[in-house]
Structure 1
């Protein structure tokens, strides 16, 4: 899948691209039907909401679930990112976010690169997210909120929020968010939310400031996120377990465009369980001497 010159210019200007209904209902159903079995597992890779049994995030499904292993190599998801970054890519992170009905909690305002820089020592923001909706996303079920053009601010200061939700995040100060929203147009387009049917795809810059509110509606909002990084820009620290921040920097080889329906064969290295090595992290860094 190749982006047009106009799409590339829009991405550079706004920091994201939205493709409503890019995947067919049949393709999307293959993925959706695999989610309940993944969410039911009592494994470290399922992070649940604070004070709830609802899954907030499932990590690394592409290593043990065939449908998601195919999605991780899908040309519609990989090739546009490769075109924008101009280099072979590896999978830095793979997650299925479950903003579940009545229970899905907030994701605070943040830049993804803030976490990748501070936790993983990724050298440059030469990485980005590409996501597919597994449910319809509407105004009521906690849609993503973007501040258009905020990626052009570059990397901004963030603080490590360890208490608001069950998942730690490097988040931005309210005053900075307000400033960025005003700069982007205030009430006239300073915050946008891509809404659309299941099968829609979003591609967004790792420095684009974004968030999502809680889901108080009776409708789930499950989405899959591929965090793709230029191979030369691979992470330098393994502070986080491997199921969160991957350490295999092998370039991704795409499958056929109809791989979800053809059920192309894929390798599943964690099919029989996550290895103990996936929980091993690097030694803590020594404290600075005063």
Structure 2
């Protein structure tokens, strides 16, 4: 799947592209089951909120078949190959689970400063592609994006180790206020199965979730091969050092897996 000229222009201007209804209901069901299994495990790759609720499950593609198939799905891989004009590798794979009632905030930040300072990534030639596993609503902690903020490059940030259980290089309130007053805030919302791509330097964050509606999202971070990280300081399951190019798999592979999984569950 490649982006249209209109989508490419939007990405260049706004720093993100939202693609609704990319994944069918059976594919989403298979991914939701995989996410529930991953988040329920007691392992180093699963990080938790301060109250013990699962917050992030890293590197699920290394042990979950559904996640492995998603990580090479052409719907995620092809647009980045198109944008970077070269092959890509998996820098990070994670499921962020903003739990009902207790899901915590994600502070205002850009992704590239963390990848650069903590992982030694040379340039912002990497980005996140988000696949919604639940309906993302205006009320259950949707991602908030400051359009056009990617045009500023990497902005001065501080290493926040205390706000949540996940450390980030975050922006101060004054800078966020300045950016929002100029460009506003958008909240891409949509049904489970929607997909969101956003630039490595787009400013974004999300509020806590105090609703009964969970908000689980898969984030696949793909980087251009020429942009491989140089000096990683974080664990391998967070910042991968396997730079094998991703071979894009047809979208039908995940759908066939979902079909087989459903058939097996019915038979059981």
Q: TM-score range by the shorter chain?
A: over 0.9
Q: Partner residue of 1:218?
A: 212
Measured after TM superposition, the shift of residue 263 of structure 1 is 2.6
Measured after TM superposition, the shift of residue 115 of structure 1 is 0.3
Q: Distance in 1 between matches of 2:35 and 2:221?
A: 19
Aligned residues: 258
Q: Distance in 2 between matches of 1:115 and 1:183?
A: 24
Q: Distance in 2 between matches of 1:261 and 1:183?
A: 42
Q: Partner residue of 1:196?
A: 190
List, as ranges, runs of 4+ consecutive aligned residues in structure 1 with deviation greater than 3 Å: none
Q: Distance in 2 between matches of 1:116 and 1:35?
A: 24
SS where residue 94 of structure 2 aligns? strand
SS where residue 89 of structure 2 aligns? strand
Q: Partner residue of 2:235?
A: 241
Measured after TM superposition, the shift of residue 33 of structure 1 is 1.2
Q: Distance in 1 between matches of 2:78 and 2:147?
A: 23
Q: Distance in 1 between matches of 2:154 and 2:125?
A: 12
Which of the two has greater helix per residue?
Answer: 2
Q: Distance in 2 between matches of 1:209 and 1:141?
A: 19
Measured after TM superposition, the shift of residue 87 of structure 1 is 1.0
Measured after TM superposition, the shift of residue 238 of structure 1 is 2.2
Q: TM-score, normalised by structure 1?
A: 0.88
Q: Distance in 1 between matches of 2:194 and 2:161?
A: 31
Q: Partner residue of 1:15?
A: 15
1:106 aligns with 2:105: yes
Unaligned runs of 5+ in 1: 185-189, 265-290
Task: Let me know the Cα RMSD of the aligned residues.
Answer: 0.9
Q: Distance in 2 between matches of 1:42 and 1:26?
A: 27
Q: Distance in 2 between matches of 1:164 and 1:71?
A: 31
Q: Partner residue of 2:145?
A: 146
Q: Distance in 2 between matches of 1:234 and 1:206?
A: 14
Q: Distance in 1 between matches of 2:182 and 2:189?
A: 23
Q: Distance in 2 between matches of 1:263 and 1:93?
A: 23
Unaligned runs of 5+ in 2: 259-268
Q: Partner residue of 1:35?
A: 35
